[in-house]
Amino acid sequence: MNDALIGLDAVTKIFPGPPAVEVLHPTDLAVEQGGYASIVGPSGSGKSTLLNLLGLLDRPTTGEYRFDGVPTTELADEERARLRARSIGFVFQSFHLIPERTVLENVLLSTLYSGVARAERVDLARNAIERVGLGHRVDHTPLTLSGGERQRVAVARATMTSPKLLLADEPTGNLDQNTSGQVMDLFEELNADGMAVVIITHDAAVAKRARRVIRIVDGAVEDGAVEDGTVEER
C-alpha cells in the first residue's frame, strides 16, 4: 500500500444517532498511481460516503486514509483543502456550470484562489478546453451547449491543473448512450496519460470500462465484476 495513490487502512464511517449508523464497515482499499476503478452498488450502500472520504470532503470515524503517501485523517482542514485543490479533481452528474459565464470563465473558476497568475491560468484553461475537444466553443455559454459538451466543460475544469486523481460521481447519469460513450472515452484518454480515475456509477456498461470494479453492499467493500445491464438496486 506504500506505493498506492489511495490507501485505506481499516477505515470506517459512522454517523451519530441515536441510533448510530455505521455506513462504511472497516475497509482496506488500495488504488495504484494511474489506476482506473469503478465503484458500484445499490443506493444507500455507502458509495457516496466512500467518494467523500476519497475526495477529502469528509473524515473517517476510525482508521487511516493515506493519499499519495500522506496520512490525511488528522490533517488540519486547511492542509486537507490544499491537498484536495492541488491533487484531486471532481466531476458530478450535474454539471455545476454558471450559465451566464463562458466556457473559459467556468473553467477558470476552479483556480480563482490558487495564487497562480491569471495569464498562466488562462493558458492552462485553454489547454484543458482544447483537450476535451471544445476549443471552438471557448467563448460560448453553457446554455448553448449540449449535455455532453457541458460535461466536457466540467471535465476540463476538474483536470485543468492535472490532478493525480479524478473522482466522478455518476458522470453519465444525465447523458444518452452515445454521449456517455464519448465522455468515457475522454476518461480513458486522461487515464492513459497517467491520471488515476475513480467513477461511481449505476450503469454496468460504464463500470465495466474501468480496469477494476469495486462493489459496495451494505457498507462492505469488495472487488468484483458486474453483469450486463444496470446495476440492480437492492
Q: Is residue 19 part of a domain?
A: no
Core vs surface per residue 46-81: b (16+ CB within 10 A) or e = bbbbbbbbbbbeebbbebebbbeeeebbebeeeebe
Q: For residue 190, which of 30, 32, 36, 87 has the smallest C-alpha distance?
A: 36
Q: Is residue 17 part of a domain?
A: no
- Residue-level pLDDT, tens digit, the chain, 234 residues: 557 999 999 999 999 988 999 999 999 999 999 999 999 988 888 899 999 999 999 999 999 999 999 999 999 999 999 999 889 999 998 899 999 999 999 999 887 766 677 788 899 999 999 999 999 999 999 999 999 999 999 999 999 989 999 999 999 988 888 889 999 999 999 999 999 999 999 888 899 999 999 999 888 998 765 544 444 443
Domain residues for 152?
31-60+70-223
Helix 177-192 vs helix 147-159: crossing angle, to nearest 10: 20
Q: What is the pLDDT of residue 70?
A: 95
Q: What is the pLDDT of residue 223?
A: 72
Q: Is residue 78 part of a domain?
A: yes
Q: What is the pLDDT of residue 232?
A: 45
Q: What is the pLDDT of residue 67?
A: 97
Q: What is the pLDDT of residue 231?
A: 47
> What pTM does this model have?
0.89
Q: What is the pLDDT of residue 17?
A: 80
Q: Is residue 93 part of a domain?
A: yes
**Structural domains in the chain (count):** 1
Q: Is residue 211 part of a domain?
A: yes
CATH number of residue 204's parent domain: 3.40.50.300
Instruction: For residues 87 and 161, give the distance between their C-alpha atoms in angstroms, rounded to a whole number.
Output: 8
